[in-house]
Chains A and B, each alone.
Chain A
């Protein structure tokens, strides 16, 4: 089914609002049209195509709020979802923290999030891509498991104050694991773009193949503190634990890694190495994102960490109002500055260390210190005198992104990567970190 154009979305949302009897009403609609293909054991396993749309309606009476969603769009269903949200709002007690819906906003120029070529991907394209990946696996006598998904989507919102926002985007993600037939070696690659022409399935598969063949006959070395080089696919899963926890209210309330004694926070303080600069920019050509967020606020370029200093936190509209500050929304994606060195250059400059391809199963251990645990996976190598010496067995780590960014040795050239944990996209450099804490060995390959 085609995506709703701006005019169609506007017409539908107007109709939804026309049913409203509440004091305030806000409707969001989003939908996507896409497909996916999954393969394993060198053959396609599951694949499919899916079209879906969701309408979310929030109604408010005074400070009472109710929300209902539906994915049916005949007139009766549209009226039903509006009524249901109204019923819920009337049943809800007053929420003193309720903030009236937003007035109309001015949005920055729409960023280039939609690429027609990506929207045009069909089942044959996906199967051909998998065929190319499987050819490489078979040539190298490896076993491939992978996933390619694409989607074209739109999102729109309108409220009774007259706000209207709309955008479209496309996305394609590809990730692959290649394993040796004896199960002793494993390699991984993951890429994601708005524009499918940037995706090179064969190159990614070759990268994973190299990791797989290179990681057989791994040796166990003692757990402990090591210098590590985290490739972007490994680094992102730890860095994102910071981004997910930069909420101002949690910090102000004393329950975040950014809280200090006596109700103070670390906003404005230098928390990590001064070479760390992290920001979000919806217009970034390598990582464009929507120019508005889900509640209608504009998304602008925001510095989060500058020269190691915490520059901004994100706010709910209520908390910003209470604190008398600008209500900066949480970003859709972040960019971390780096240098010009490649991962290979970082290896060459390393006397002793460990190259980490991927970190996996990341879970919070202590929110106070942002301590997380997880394991290395799909290619972990020992480096000596600037060269990869041998593959090593996987480790469990217990580490904090804050400690890690204080132990920074060097940053390489940023590249677009996809988190294997959250699926978010980010531009981050490979990072060389000293004293990274590995706590135990794992037998997993």
Chain B
């Protein structure tokens, strides 16, 4: 809450805006009235220096990691970062500055620097920033609907769970196991010169493990990663529930994860992976579980429908997009088969993207990206809406910290479940030569999102409608449009699950964002599979 406490020799100890941090408040949340005062300092200072628009984000970002291997807790880490970011428009151009010196002087200086930067940038402006109109919401708040705050769960409970997971893996025959619980809490406050003061509390959790087995004789090793998903929930995600399980070759999980059970399966499967048959390269019909398909959706649908990429703003780093505006304007660009209906949202309960308002104060919602296989929309923020003839943003703005400027980030992008009742077993029994893939692994796609290659955790060969054992050395390669046009079936909503990432990277300087992708198991016909075995 104050500037650098290096003593009076370096910086004056300016009176604190808020209260002293009480030592006994483990997860201290700055009160809203203090944040409003801080925000108003920045809003007023920026306006007085010539800003025509200002927004302020005050963020306290908490992370907790419990890190273990085998029978050892390697470390328990809590991180906390607190500061303020000020974004302005001055002379038609954006400027941004951030500081962790959150006293009056520090905030005012950040606002001044943001305006100064905007004015410098205006020298090189082609056209002034055009913001979609946005009403101020006044003082509002939003809290993620969690049941059990992971930060408040006793440490012993988390440690005991991970130790039991590791024990199960080792007893199951694994040589090594690493496991981790990673919890995130974003306490963020947004204020704008348009009259919004928005306080939000966001929670995420990701329990995960890697089990390793080594064949000492051959020197070969294999791993099996957890089939959990990073998710926008509290610790309740780690309370197993039979109603949230899908039983089959391995148990798959919906909104509750049984980490111990998954570790038992994992230990057995990692041994099977070592002994599995190396795949014969060629065309296969693929049955992709949501734990694999989420990443393919993320890379091949999520990223190319980001409007900033389409327009060229990411050309120097993440790349551009093959989904150019003319394809959208034609209203008939055949992205995928009729089975492919892809929706964007920032509202799905339990998803990583769910918030009440985005990081430029826009209330969130849901919209179609691909409808019956046709490209119908993109992901948009306020300064892009006019390009699509929209009069409002879709609420896709996000910054991963108070210290980074907010920009267009992917909302949840999900494949809608099939409308007709269809299970995974129904799907498999119709496949003559195929591979059923569970879990995610290697992933890579080109900078315009045409050519991709993905791997998985578990590969089951399908021969004449039946599972015929495990395969290894599998990767599937395809072209986005070709792949989604080969989608011949999507299982119904009883199979719908979320996958996702805590670390979707984009932007310069690089920022990460957390995003979920829902789907039901789906079938893709005639996909190219390569064999990845090599000798060194």
Contacts and interface: CB of A to CB of B under 8 A. Distances in A.
A179 B324 CA distance: 15
A40 B316 contact: yes
A78 B97 contact: no
Contact of B477 (A130, A183, A259, A440): A440
Given A68-B78, A367-B221, 14 more contacts: A36-B508, A48-B114, A51-B100, A72-B1, A73-B2, A73-B4, A77-B2, A88-B78, A96-B72, A97-B74, A147-B508, A188-B316, A365-B455, A443-B322
Size bracket of the B interface: 35 or more
B23 interface: yes
Contacts of A179: 312, 315, 320
A444 B446 contact: yes
Interface stretch (B231-239, B437-445, B491-499): B437-445
B403 A50 contact: yes
A179 to B, nearest CB: 6
A253 B219 CA distance: 10
Contact of B217 (A8, A261, A360): A261
A65 interface: yes
B532 A396 contact: no
B359 to A, nearest CB: 13
A68 B77 contact: yes
A36 B509 contact: yes
Interface string B441-465: 0111111111101010000000000
A259 B220 CA distance: 9
Interface string B129-169: 00000000000000000000000000110010001000000
Given A73-B3, A76-B21, A396 B443 contact: no
Given A74-B1, A80-B21, A360-B447, A43 B126 contact: yes
B536 A403 contact: yes
A423 B442 CA distance: 21
Interface of B: 1-7, 9-11, 13, 16, 20-21, 23, 26, 72-83, 93-102, 113-114, 116-117, 120-121, 123-127, 155-156, 159, 163, 175-176, 212, 214, 216-221, 223, 311-317, 319-320, 322, 403-405, 407, 442-451, 453, 455, 473, 475, 477, 479, 508-510, 528, 530, 532-536
A324 interface: no
Contacts of B442: 363-365, 373
Interface string A235-257: 00000000000000000011101
A305 B516 CA distance: 42
A51 B126 CA distance: 29
Interface in A342-361: 360-361
Most buried by B among A12, A131, A443: A443
A46 B451 contact: no
A351 to B, nearest CB: 26
A124 B124 CA distance: 12
Contact of B536 (A85, A186, A402): A402
Given A67-B77, A95-B72, A370-B536, A47 B316 contact: no
12 contacts: A41-B312, A47-B121, A50-B404, A65-B75, A71-B81, A74-B16, A143-B315, A147-B317, A175-B508, A440-B528, A444-B447, A444-B451
B120 A123 contact: yes
A74 B2 contact: yes
Given A44-B93, A97-B74, A444-B447, A134 B120 contact: no
B486 to A, nearest CB: 16
Contacts of B99: 1, 50-52
Given A37-B121, A261-B217, A51 B2 contact: no
A176 B5 contact: no
A441 B448 CA distance: 13
Given A44-B124, A131-B123, A373-B442, A254 B175 contact: yes
A66 B312 contact: no
Contacts of B404: 48, 50
A445 B536 contact: no
A303 B73 CA distance: 33
Given A65-B75, A73-B6, A361 B23 contact: no
B76 A67 contact: yes
Contact of B444 (A66, A72, A175, A361): A361
A371 interface: yes
Contacts of B163: 93
Given A48-B96, A75-B5, A255-B212, A262 B477 contact: no
A429 interface: no
A373 B475 contact: yes
A425 B123 CA distance: 32
Nearest to A68: B78
A377 B407 contact: no
A185 to B, nearest CB: 12
Contact of A398 (B175, B212, B316, B530): B530
A74 B7 CA distance: 9
A42 interface: yes
Interface string A67-102: 111111111111111011100110111011100000
A177 B124 contact: no
A133 to B, nearest CB: 10
Nearest to B10: A8
B508 A41 contact: no
Most buried by A among B451, B473, B533, B536: B536
Nearest to A77: B21
Contact of A48 (B4, B95, B175, B477): B95
B446 A439 contact: no
B444 A374 contact: yes
Contacts of B96: 46-49
Interface string A302-321: 00000000000000000000
A70 to B, nearest CB: 5
A45 B406 CA distance: 12
Given A44-B93, A127-B120, A78 B316 contact: no
Nearest to B159: A93
B79 A47 contact: no
B124 A444 contact: no
Contact of A439 (B98, B405, B477, B508): B477
A143 B536 CA distance: 43
B186 to A, nearest CB: 15
Given A52-B403, A259-B221, A72 B79 contact: no
B446 A396 contact: yes
B78 A445 contact: no
A54 interface: yes
A177 B405 contact: no
A421 to B, nearest CB: 10
A124 B79 CA distance: 35
A4 B214 CA distance: 48
A166 B461 CA distance: 57
Nearest to A134: B124
Interface string A401-445: 011000000000000000000010000000000000001111111
Given A47-B94, A74-B16, A402-B536, A444 B73 contact: no
A18 B79 CA distance: 21
B81 A373 contact: no
A146 interface: yes
A80 B473 CA distance: 50
A43 B74 CA distance: 48
A361 B453 CA distance: 11
Contacts of A76: 20-21, 23
Most buried by B among A36, A45, A70, A255: A45
A143 B116 contact: no
B221 A368 contact: yes
B408 to A, nearest CB: 11
A40 B314 contact: yes
Query: Which 6 A-B residue pairings sit nearest by Cβ, starting from the closest?
Result: A48-B96, A261-B219, A442-B451, A444-B448, A444-B446, A145-B315
A84 B26 contact: yes
A52 B6 contact: no
B407 A46 contact: yes
A333 B73 CA distance: 30
